[in-house]
Amino acid sequence: YGFYFTLFCNAVMILFDHHERFKKTIRFRYFLRRKNGFIRGNLKF
């Protein structure tokens, strides 16, 4: 019983870890895109 509970907890932690990493990646990509757009906007002037 405790063995399956440990497996379940590990799975949840792994999923949560992947979710956090995924969010950070999306935020980082959005930041890069915004930064690039800002630079392009400045070059237009």
Q: How does pLDDT run across 1-45, given as a tens digit for each residue?
A: 688 888 898 888 888 877 777 777 777 777 777 776 666 666 554
Q: Give the separation between CA 3 and CA 32, rounded to whole angstroms.
A: 43
Q: Give the separation between CA 14 and CA 7, rounded to whole angstroms.
A: 11
Query: Torsion angle, CA of 26/29/34/38, rounded to 10 degrees?
Result: 170
Distance of CA 10 to the CA centre of its chain: 20
Q: What's the pLDDT score for residue 10?
A: 87
Residue type, 24: K
